[in-house]
Structure 1
Amino acid sequence: MVAVGITVPFLLLLPFLFFASADNSSPSIIIVGAGFSGISAAKTLSDAGLKNFIILEGTGRIGGRICKVPFAGIYVEKGANWVEGVNGKQINPIWTMAESLHLRRFYSDYDNLSSNTYKQGGGLYDSPEVSEMIDVADSVNGANEKLSASLPSNGRGDISILAAQRLQNHVPSTPVDMAIDYYNFDYEFAEPPRVTSLQNTEPLPTFANFGEDVYFVADQRGYESVVHHVAHQFLETDKVGTIVDHRLRLNQVVRKITYSATGVAVETEDGGVYKADYVLVSVSLGVLQSKLIEFVPMLPQWKIVAIYEFDMAIYTKIFLKFPSSFWPTGNGTQFFLYASERRGYYTIWQHFEKEYPGANVLLVTVTDDESKRIEQQPDSKTKAEAMEVLREMFGNHIPEATDIFVPRWWSDRLYRGTFSNWPIGVDRYEYDQIRAPVGRVYFTGEHTSEHYNGYVHGAFLSGIDSAKIMINCIKRGLCKYMVKAKD
């Protein structure tokens, strides 16, 4: 259905009316969301000759959960920060982009955590003691990887990482064991081992395929430069590189998608209506679970169940600025652990001696329930808690933090979390369902990435994959998306 005029009575009901640009030579497409998956999908469609689209983005920028923010005189990354999976047998496409853009990025070396683990109440643990605990955890993880490989592919034998640990008679319970466990799992998946799938995370395809190295992006242009790099390849820009393409429409919060056998209508919060032949929804899994967008008719039960079966995790990076540094610097000191009796309580810290020289900034990462708790309290309370932990580690003489930045991804209705996590027992069948089209409604996003959900490269690659599904339908008439039956 190419956009056409509408009757006067309908116009009276809707104060604003917009259409995808009229082009009778190709179908019209609406893309909801200008995060990396939405931009990647739009470029793939454009490269295939399907240029008759508009992108509706709820915020005033592109990039989604890749977002720089000003903090105490520098820019820091509110969301995604690392290129994860480097120096392996395959090349991570995000690494290629980062290299071509000459983004400032720094190797993250976690090898010396045993010498940088602090006690609750003060002082460092003996390095050999912590090193032995890390070796035990690594041995258990190795055994769990073998167990994972032995499980049936249909997912029915899947267990949690915690259950697998119990099978190895290893249940982290001491402060140090819990800190190491938190570093190994929560720091990566943003949820604890008791809810995380063994089968879909051991081994993790990102590191198995792309390599185990990770690099921290600390470029003042922002990690979002990779998104702009892709966008500039198909969207019109002015002389200074600002996107001026009329097909990108910012500050358009989508609230309703009506679909039928002949087309779609997308309604925005300001009363606008966009009509097209197809719609590609690239909002986060958290938004799909939140009912921000109403689908008419309601999505089929199999689709809703697939959406609800996945987890939307919360990963919160808290930045603190100080008048001077008081923490150890030099090789082998960048990352340090606080081993609290309360699992996940301000556990993982990082300084930026090389990344932001002279900035005197620390980063502490919290996840899951701690993230939710912190989002609901004033920043002053969070700063007081963090300062109490730092004083236990470094003494009461340290200066007070002058600035704090606390992201609130869970509270933000346009995201409702940071990235998806594979829960127990969900296999590729449910994955196929979560990205499967419903009529003329298509879906993309990092949560639809077959192997790389939760990662920047997962968002980028999922946009390409979902766009190809749509292209196959539009150009080749292959519109029946096959979901392999569950064994």
Structure 2
Amino acid sequence: MKPKPSVEIVQYTAPARVGGPKVIIIGAGMSGISAGQRLSDAGISDFMILEATDRIGGRIHKTEFAGMNVEMGANWVEGVNIDPADDKINKVNPIWTMVHDELKLNTSLSNYDHLASNTYMEEGGLYDEGFVQKTINRADEVQKYGDRLSSNEKYGDITVMAMQRFHDHLPYGPTKPVDMVIDYYTNDYEFAEPPRVTSLQSTHPLPTFADFGDNVCFVADQQGFESVVHHVARQYLETDASTGDIVDPRLLLNKVVKKIKYTTDGVVVKTEDGWLYEADYVMVSVSIGVLQSNLIRFKPHLPHWKNMAMYQFDMAVYTKIFLKFPSKFWPDGPGTEFFLYASSRRGYFPVWQHLENEYPGSNILLVTVTDDESRRIEQQTDEETKAEAMEVLRKMFPNEDVPEATDILVPRWWSDRFFRGSFSNWPIGVDRYEYDLIRAPVGRVYFPGEHTSERYNGYVHGAYLAGKDSADILIECVKKGENQNECVDAGTLKYDVPGKYE
């Protein structure tokens, strides 16, 4: 056993000729890296990034599978306008600009228009297209009703399921297999949680699509979606000229933060390997799931209002399972990329995608599960999951010789102590007040992250923009110069007043 150090070492590493306050950024995902860029642009370069894993990117992570790189986490750029004539959209998703224009990554437009002709019965064979289309049309009608109801502030917030019931749609929730799988595709497939817990006001209409466009593009590039995070990091972190690798001494990997002590004078961050790092400010860019866990302890404890705001949010789990086959047995060609399995068990291997468009000749299927199914699958072996998936596929295609999958990849975001899930989902009742609380600093402790994005929580662009927003709050405080302590005190006391959490 490695002996513990007899004394704790205080260290702060920073390059020469730097100015401004010292800042520690915890987490090198999109939000933390984005925050660092904004600080650097503002002339604050005396900072350090502590990352718990051996890489940057966070929940954007490629991995090798069956001889190629696939995405374990974020995979789509959501909110893309491919119709230049659409004058209703006047914003461009900043992630799409990087992916498409700057990095020129390989992407594929995801087309879900043919689900009615690609919905499979529980025991095999396709449903009648007209029958499924009626179910889809009804779901679309209810969604539009939800958009109108959400815009009427006098009703307040309700769950998506309550809205469905209000519109006399599936009053007891969907019970038939086709109803369930269409409802799952419409809601869970996007938010990773069912309509009974999802907020209507935060999802209808969905700001990402309303602001940037209705299209979604699947990133299928061997550089990986995480190259976007590297692209942002290279704007201000030192890189090796020959390899392009980030070699900046301000980025420290494999540094697991276990404790943050904060006072009105500064912060001290302690890592699991026994090091202490001192700074003027700290930005805690970790997931809401990690904030809700006991991985990082705060001294003093975070105030009641902060914890109450954080614990209201859900950390959803979205699992993309990849299966590699020796040969192709599913339909391919135009209009077949996405297909549904209408099980009597809601959310059981429901949404499938073949990757022939993205990785021609790969013979890979992708199936998405979420929420309770994700947590269940994470607790069993990959072989058990493969057996379940194979049983489903053989039911779907009873007249095909379905070969055994040769490889399977099952991400485990919920079980990973550095993430505790995939992305945040705003529950019912979270309004502007809670939003201000969730992103508000506590003294010298700041909180970037996709969960703090008012309009785009749960998305990569939400993480990117939230990192910049949080850095802007810190920068404004720093600009007060000699009055920094006054700024810090005000930043805390602003929210420490009698209210719904006091």
Partner of 1:183: 185
* Offset, 1:270: 0.5
Residue number among 19, 25, 34 corresponding to 2:12 in the alignment = 19
One-letter amino acid of the structure 2 residue matched with residue 444 of structure 1? P
Q: Hey, what's the Cα distance between the residues in 1 that align with 2:464 and 2:335? A: 33
Residue number among 256, 259, 262 corresponding to 1:253 in the alignment = 256
Partner of 2:85: none
Deviations 1:58-111 (A, max 9, x none): 001000000000000010000000000011431000000011101000000000
Partner of 1:77: 71
Matches within 5 A, 1:414-453: 414-453=418-457
* Offset, 1:157: 2.3
Q: Hey, what's the Cα distance between the residues in 2 that align with 1:452 and 1:296? A: 31
2:232 aligned counterpart, secondary structure: helix
Q: Hey, what's the Cα distance between the residues in 2 that align with 1:253 and 1:12? A: 20
1:133 aligned counterpart, secondary structure: helix
Contact 2:13 2:48 in 1 (8 A): yes
* Offset, 1:17: 3.4
Q: Structure 1 residues 145, 308: closer, same or farther in 2, change over 3 A?
A: same
1:31 aligned counterpart, secondary structure: strand
Residue number among 130, 134, 148 corresponding to 1:128 in the alignment = 130
1:13 aligned counterpart, secondary structure: coil
Residue number among 215, 218, 227 corresponding to 1:216 in the alignment = 218
Identity of aligned residues (%): 64
1:34 aligned counterpart, secondary structure: coil
Matches within 5 A, 1:130-279: 130-152=132-154, 157-171=156-170, 172-239=174-241, 240-279=243-282
Contact 2:321 2:410 in 1 (8 A): yes
* Offset, 1:426: 1.1
1:40 aligned counterpart, secondary structure: helix
Contact 2:122 2:395 in 1 (8 A): yes
Q: Hey, what's the Cα distance between the residues in 2 that align with 1:399 and 1:12? A: 59
1:290 aligned counterpart, secondary structure: coil
Contact 2:315 2:421 in 1 (8 A): yes
2:340 aligned counterpart, secondary structure: strand
2:240 aligned counterpart, secondary structure: coil
One-letter amino acid of the structure 2 residue matched with residue 159 of structure 1? I
Q: Structure 1 residues 485, 397: closer, same or farther in 2, change over 3 A?
A: farther
Contact 2:448 2:466 in 1 (8 A): yes
Matches within 5 A, 1:9-408: 12-14=6-8, 16-21=9-14, 25-87=19-81, 88-99=89-100, 100-152=102-154, 157-171=156-170, 172-239=174-241, 240-395=243-398, 397-408=401-412
Q: Structure 1 residues 389, 485: closer, same or farther in 2, change over 3 A?
A: farther
User: Is 1:462 the equivalent of 2:466?
Assistant: yes
Q: Hey, what's the Cα distance between the residues in 1 that align with 2:371 and 2:348? A: 11
Q: Runs of 4 or more off by more than 2 Å in structure 1? A: 20-25, 476-487
* Offset, 1:25: 3.6
Contact 1:346 1:365 in 2 (8 A): yes
| Long gaps (5+) in structure 1 | 1-10
Contact 2:26 2:285 in 1 (8 A): yes
TM-score by length of 1: 0.95
1:76 aligned counterpart, secondary structure: strand
Contact 2:32 2:449 in 1 (8 A): yes
Deviations 1:398-437 (A, max 9, x none): 1000000000000000000000001011112111101100
Contact 2:288 2:424 in 1 (8 A): yes
Q: Structure 1 residues 23, 432: closer, same or farther in 2, change over 3 A?
A: farther
2:331 aligned counterpart, secondary structure: coil
1:279 aligned counterpart, secondary structure: strand
One-letter amino acid of the structure 2 residue matched with residue 236 of structure 1? E
Q: Hey, what's the Cα distance between the residues in 1 that align with 2:44 and 2:273? A: 27
Q: Hey, what's the Cα distance between the residues in 2 that align with 1:257 and 1:271? A: 13
Contact 1:20 1:28 in 2 (8 A): no
Q: Hey, what's the Cα distance between the residues in 2 that align with 1:354 and 1:90? A: 28
TM-score by length of 2: 0.92
Partner of 1:6: none
2:151 aligned counterpart, secondary structure: helix
Deviations 1:372-423 (A, max 9, x none): 0000000100000000000011126210000000000000000000000010
| Long gaps (5+) in structure 2 | 82-88
Q: Structure 1 residues 50, 427: closer, same or farther in 2, change over 3 A?
A: same
Deviations 1:423-469 (A, max 9, x none): 01111211110110000000100000111000000000000000000
* Offset, 1:50: 0.2
Contact 1:89 1:211 in 2 (8 A): no
* Offset, 1:291: 1.4
Contact 1:20 1:276 in 2 (8 A): no
